[in-house]
């Protein structure tokens, strides 16, 4: 279900890349276009969330009144939604669309050769095996990114193979043949394939094919740290419960919000750690997409809040 969307987005990202000739810039432009395309759904979702917030007190009254009567609870809930001209499933469609979009773009940025450059899976497997046999790579979750990262090393291997004039004895050749029956001959490397793999990953002095934990370059940590910082800001913006506690004066209301406050407090601690852990073991190209998407979400959130507030007034 996800692959067709990733394939479609691949055509768009590849078109942008061919125009700007920079993978990082292409990702940023692509992210902006996707966010703009999703704007109508985001507006509808934001309006639904505001309506849901408004009827929370009524919902709590109904839940308290019919806490031991599930049948009347369901009936009263449906009547409330009907009187407010809302559907209890109104936010489901937008949530599903956003989840599909999230995974589709993740697949795309994680596997640019498959979805962006449309390289056959057998060809990718061949080069993955070549890299493993020549100790250029580990068995990571991002083999396509590693192929792009080490494309120059693969070219060097091919040149060395072509220039190798050392003659081996028949006995050595036989021994080599026996020990390397499954080894791929470097002569199978094609120039047109190497050209397809040659994606410009340089962005503001960073190599977007790098994985922070696999390099000694301190600059590789810039994007992951920015991503975590922006994610924390995004969590703060989507956490209205904290402000509610400050405004509540009675102990009863404080107790009422304590479970939600505790959950949000835990989220504010756990999520940044999780974000950082994932970003440190992901290629910088993927972390750049996450960072761009988080920034756009903050801008979208602030803008829609302002626009919808002005409409209400």
Domain end point (choices 134, 167, 198): 198
pLDDT in tens, 218-262: 888 999 899 888 888 887 776 654 444 444 444 444 444 445 455
Residues 69 and 208 in one domain: yes
Same domain, 190 and 225: no
Contact (CB, 8 A) for 234 and 298: yes
For 60-76, what is the mean pLDDT?
A: 78
User: Are residues 211 and 110 located together in one domain of the fold?
Assistant: yes
Confidence tier at 66 by pLDDT (50, 70, 90) = confident
- Taking 3-state DSSP, the helix, strand and coil percentages for the chain, each rounded to the nearest 5, stand at 75, 0, 20
Whether 110 and 219 map to the same domain: the answer is yes
Q: CA–CA separation, 127 vs 144, rounded Å?
A: 9
Question: Which pLDDT score, from 0 to 100, does residue 266 have?
Answer: 63
Say yes or no: 92 and 233 in one domain: yes
Question: Do 301 and 156 belong together in one domain?
Answer: no
Instruction: Indicate the residue among 168, 198, 228 that finishes a domain.
Output: 198
Domain with 160, as residue range(s), is 120-198
Six token digits for residue 72: 């009347």
Interacting residues of 200 by C-beta distance below 8 A, sequence separation 6+: 21, 22, 23
Tell me the range of 16-30, 121-135, 202-216, 218-232 where mean pLDDT is highest.
16-30
Residues 45 and 62 in one domain: yes
Residues 191 and 206 in one domain: no
Same domain assignment for residues 79 and 10: yes
Assess whether pLDDT exceeds 80 at residue 26. yes
pLDDT of 139: 60
Cα 217 to Cα 234: distance, rounded to the nearest angstrom: 28
Residue 165 has pLDDT above 50, yes or no: no
Please give the tally of structural domains in the chain.
2
For residues 222 and 301, membership in a common domain is answered with yes
* 147 in the same domain as 26: no
- Among candidate residues 198, 232, 248, the one where a domain is terminated: 198
Same-domain pairing of 274 and 170: no
Q: Which residues of 22-37 are buried (b: 16+ CB within 10 A; e: fewer)?
A: bbbbbbbbbbeebbee
Q: If we measure between CA atoms, which residue out of 290, 241, 297, 291 comes closest to residue 266? A: 241
Instruction: Note whether 73 and 63 are within 8 A (CB).
Output: yes
Q: By the 8 A CB rule, do 129 and 34 touch? A: no
pLDDT in tens, 179-191: 555 667 777 778 7
């Amino acid at each position: 279900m996800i692959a067709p969307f990733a394939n479609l987005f691949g055509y768009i990202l590849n078109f942008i890349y061919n125009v700007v000739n920079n993978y990082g810039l292409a990702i940023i432009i692509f992210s902006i276009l996707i966010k703009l395309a999703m704007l109508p759904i985001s507006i509808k979702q934001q309006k639904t969330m505001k309506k849901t917030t408004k009827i929370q007190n009524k919902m709590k009254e109904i839940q308290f009144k019919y806490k031991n009567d599930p049948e009347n609870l369901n009936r009263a809930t449906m009547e409330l939604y009907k009187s407010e001209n809302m559907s209890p499933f109104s936010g489901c469609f937008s949530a599903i669309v956003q989840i599909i979009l999230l995974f589709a773009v993740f697949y795309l940025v994680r596997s640019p050769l498959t979805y962006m450059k449309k390289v056959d899976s057998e060809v990718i497997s061949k080069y993955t095996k070549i890299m493993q046999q020549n100790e250029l790579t580990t068995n990571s979750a991002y083999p396509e990114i590693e192929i792009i990262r080490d494309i120059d090393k693969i070219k060097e291997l091919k040149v060395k193979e072509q220039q190798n004039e050392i003659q081996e004895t028949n006995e050595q050749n036989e021994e080599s043949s026996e020990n390397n029956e499954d080894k791929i001959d470097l002569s199978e490397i094609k120039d047109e394939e190497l050209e397809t793999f040659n994606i410009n990953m340089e962005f503001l002095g960073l190599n977007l094919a790098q994985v922070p934990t696999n390099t000694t370059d301190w600059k590789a940590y810039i994007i992951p740290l920015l991503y975590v910082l922006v994610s924390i800001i995004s969590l703060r913006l989507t956490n209205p419960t904290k402000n509610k506690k400050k405004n509540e004066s009675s102990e009863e209301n404080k107790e009422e919000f304590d479970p939600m406050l505790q959950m949000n407090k835990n989220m504010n601690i756990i999520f940044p750690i999780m974000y950082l852990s994932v970003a440190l073991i992901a290629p910088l190209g993927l972390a750049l997409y996450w960072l761009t998407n988080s920034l756009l979400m903050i801008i979208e959130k602030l803008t829609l809040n302002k626009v919808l507030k002005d409409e209400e007034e």
